[in-house]
Amino acid sequence: MGCVFQSTEDKCIFKIDWTLSPGEHAKDEYVLYYYSNLSVPIGRFQNRVHLMGDILCNDGSLLLQDVQEADQGTYICEIRLKGESQVFKKAVVLHVLPEEPKELMVHVGGLIQMGCVFQS
């Protein structure tokens, strides 16, 4: 998920916060924060998210692995620059579509066919 702050001035990222807002009645949750050259994934995202952007180029993009249906919602990236009071915010909406069932056809001998449907 992309989150790049573009500026003509030479500014450095001081802090990045990624949060997830799953919907109207659900509580927002932290996904990852970056502060003082340390990237910290939070909670259920701990082993599945990584900052992929180049912090030196004001890129705080996030990689989410092993995406699950519960991961859908609006992801908010907040970038704070060193010496600035303004916060750059970007929202990324993630929709997770259920995987189409796959059918496996097994031929036993020459006459019998068995079908199995796998769904994840």
| Domains of the chain as residue ranges with CATH | 1-119 (2.60.40.10)
pLDDT of residue 102: 62
CA distance 113 to 106: 6
Whether the pLDDT of residue 112 is over 50: the answer is: no
pLDDT of residue 109: 52
pLDDT of residue 11: 75
The listed range with the strongest mean pLDDT (1-10, 75-84, 105-114) is: 75-84
C-beta separation of 92 from 20 below 8 A: no
Provide the residue count of the chain.
120
Q: Which residue has the higher pLDDT, 27 or 99?
A: 27
C-beta separation of 75 from 62 below 8 A: yes
Give 39-69 pLDDT, tens digit per residue: 999 999 999 999 998 888 888 999 999 999 8
Q: Give the H or E element holding residue 106.
A: strand 102-108
The percent of residues in the chain predicted with pLDDT above 70, rounded, is 82
pLDDT of residue 26: 79
pLDDT of residue 115: 45
